[in-house]
Structure 1
Amino acid sequence: MSTSMPYPTPIHVTPDHVAALRENGPGTCLTWDEDTGRVEAVLPRKAIVPTRMIIASQRGLGELADLYTAEGREAADEDLARDLTDLAGDWWGDWPQVRAMNLVCEDLRSHLADWCVYLTAAPTAEPYRRGLPRMTDYYRLAECDRIAQVTVTWAFEEPTRILSHDPADRARPVADLALRTGGTLTHRAASDLIACTVWQALDVNA
C-alpha cells in the first residue's frame, strides 16, 4: 500500500495526525510547515499559507482508506499514517517549486476560500524542463463533489487552464477553459478573475 519515497524527508505523520485530519471541520488538510517543521491538520484558511506543504486532504484520506476496503482490509490509523508519511516523501521532492508557486497562488486561494472553495488535494508541479514553472491546484466547493483542476504558470504569464468534472463522470468535463489574464491586470485582479471563473465552474447551479 505504501507509495515510493525517493527523497529523504524529515516529515513523519502519526496516527494522531490521521485522527485530527479525519475529525476536523470541512476542507481540513494535513500540512507540514516549513517554518516550524510541524505536521498539523489545519482548516482551509491556514492550509493556503505559502510555507505549508499540503500532504493530504480529508477527501484524500477517505480515498486512501477506500483502497484498503477494496482489498478487504480495515485501514488502521497506523497504516494510514505510514502511507501518508510515504506520500509526504513524494511531495518533498517537488517542494521547492511548489513553495515558489504557492506565492503566486496565495491571492487566488484566498479569494476562493472566501467563497467556501477549498483545496481538496496536494498541488502537483510539472517537471521543470523549459518555459515557465507550472502547477495544478485541485479545488472543491463545500457540499459539492465536483472537482476543479486549475493549472497556472508563474505570474499567470500563460493562460490558466480550468478543468472541472464530476468524480463519477470524468470523461465528460463540466468545463474546460483557458483563461488569459496577461496584459494590464494586476496580480490581485487576475487572481480575482480566475477565482470567479473557478467558482462558476464548480457551482452546480451555474
Structure 2
Amino acid sequence: MADYAMSFERLGQWISKRARSPTLRHPRATSLSMLDGAVAAVVAGPVSMASEEWVCPLLGVDPDAFNHDTEEFSAIAATLMRHNAIGETLSTRPESFEPLFVRSPDGEVDPRPWCMGFYAVMKLRLLVWSRLLSPNGTEHLMLRPILVHCIDDAGRPLLPPARRTLGTQPIVQNAWRDIPATVEALRQFWMPIRFKRGA
C-alpha cells in the first residue's frame, strides 16, 4: 500500500483541488484536518467499517477506484495509511495521539474542521453511535468536546446552548484540549462492543 500512496501533504492538495472541481464528485472531507478527524472516528468508533463505506464519501470517489492504479487509488492508499497510523498510535501509545487541527500563523487552534470530519463519519452510522447521543445519558459527555465544535446541515450548533456549558462556563474555548483523551476514551468504550460484533 505504501508504494502506491501519495504523501499526506499531497493528499491535502488533492482533496482541496477535488473539492473545487466543477465536474468531479466533491469529497465530504474538504481538508486534511477534516479527513484526520474522520479517520479517527473510524478507528475509535463502535463498529468496523469496510474501507469503501467511509473512504468513498470522504474522498468523493467510487468504489471502483480501489481497483485501478490511478491518482484516486493513490489518495485512497494515503487515507488508509493514515487510518493504520492512527490505529497504531491509539493501540500502542495513546498518550501521544495528536489530532491534526488547523492552526493559524499565530498558533491559534481551530478544531472545527477536525470535529466536523469526526461527525461526518458518525453520520454514516448514526444508529450505532446513538447510545452516546442521548443528552440524558452520562456517556453523552464523552462526545461533548467534539460535538461542541460541530454544526448541523443548516449551519446551527449541533449542541444546544444548555449543553455547550459546564456550570456557568462555556466549554467551547478550550474543549479542543480534551479531544485526544476523548478519542482514546471512545476507543476504549466501544472496544468490547466492536469486537463482540466482529466475532
TM-score by length of 1: 0.28
Question: Greater share of strand residues, 1 or 2?
Answer: 1
Task: Kindly indicate whether structure 1 or structure 2 has the higher relative contact order, using CA contacts under 8 Å at least 6 residues apart.
Answer: 2
- Which of the pair is proportionally richer in helix? 2
